[in-house]
């Protein structure tokens, strides 16, 4: 039977939403493996809007769900409509939006909180023992989802790793082409663009993550 996988997006674009390459690679691999996918996003304003050409902040407001719909070709739901019991696994791509819109790690660091709807949704998977994949910067939410002792990776950036351990997680260094698996919690993480220098490098680790998540489901 095909696995049903929920994917949480955080907007559209590396600097203020979900990282587009990471999101597309994730969705592509899930499709290649025959998974049924439903994308979700919180129906909230973005922290801010970044001009991806200049890198400057723009004087406008955008909605996370509306922007994420671009990545999902419109096939997306408000995360408050999601029913975790209907899915076998959850995956959250990275991008600054994961640290700005899904949680406030970009602002608060180790003192961050996860957006309530996202936290409740992800914790439902954790509590049910269903596999979860966190990509790139998304593993900074691991300790908030699972509690102290959870094993994860963001690659080998010392400052971010220190913040992750400060929240109570165990951090394991990892190359871009590999994954780290917390076997008891069924959590799979990979560095992706925390380390990647190309889209092909990113794909190597994400494909491994998707495959392992599906195998654990």
Q: Which of 39, 136, 152, 174 is catalytic?
A: 136
Residue 37: beta bridge partners?
5
Q: In which element (H, E) is residue 211 found?
A: helix 199-216
The answer to whether the beta carbons of residues 36 and 106 sit under 8 Å apart is: no
Question: Is residue 112 flagged as an active site residue?
Answer: no
The answer to whether the beta carbons of residues 49 and 14 sit under 8 Å apart is: no
Give the angle subtended at the CA of 136 by the CAs of 132 and 140, to the nearest 5°. Answer: 70
Distances (CA, A) of 135 to 18, 53, 59, 69, 102: 11, 24, 29, 19, 13
Strand boundaries in the chain, DSSP class E? 4-8, 36-41, 49-50, 57-58, 76-78, 89-92, 132-135, 151-152, 170-171, 180-182, 187-190
The residues annotated as belonging to the active site are 136
């Amino acid at each position: 039977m095909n696995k049903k996988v929920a994917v949480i997006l955080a907007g559209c674009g590396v600097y203020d939403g979900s990282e587009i390459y990471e999101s597309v690679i994730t969705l592509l691999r899930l499709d290649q493996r025959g998974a049924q996918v439903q994308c979700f996003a919180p129906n909230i304003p973005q922290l801010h809007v970044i001009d991806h050409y200049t890198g400057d902040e723009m004087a406008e407001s955008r909605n996370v769900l509306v922007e994420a719909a671009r990545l999902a070709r419109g096939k997306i739901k408000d995360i408050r409509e999601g029913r975790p019991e209907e899915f076998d696994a959850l995956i959250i791509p990275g991008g600054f939006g994961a640290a700005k819109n899904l949680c406030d790690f970009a602002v608060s660091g180790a003192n961050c909180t996860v957006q309530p709807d996202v936290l409740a949704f992800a914790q439902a998977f954790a509590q049910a023992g269903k596999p979860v994949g966190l990509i790139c910067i998304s593993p900074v939410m691991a300790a908030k989802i699972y509690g102290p002792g959870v094993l994860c990776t963001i690659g080998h950036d010392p400052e971010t790793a220190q913040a992750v351990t400060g929240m109570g997680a165990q951090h394991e260094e990892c190359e871009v082409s590999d994954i780290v698996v917390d076997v008891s919690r069924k959590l799979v993480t990979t560095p992706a663009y925390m380390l990647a220098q190309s889209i092909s490098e990113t794909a190597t680790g994400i494909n491994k993550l998707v495959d392992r998540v599906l195998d654990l489901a």
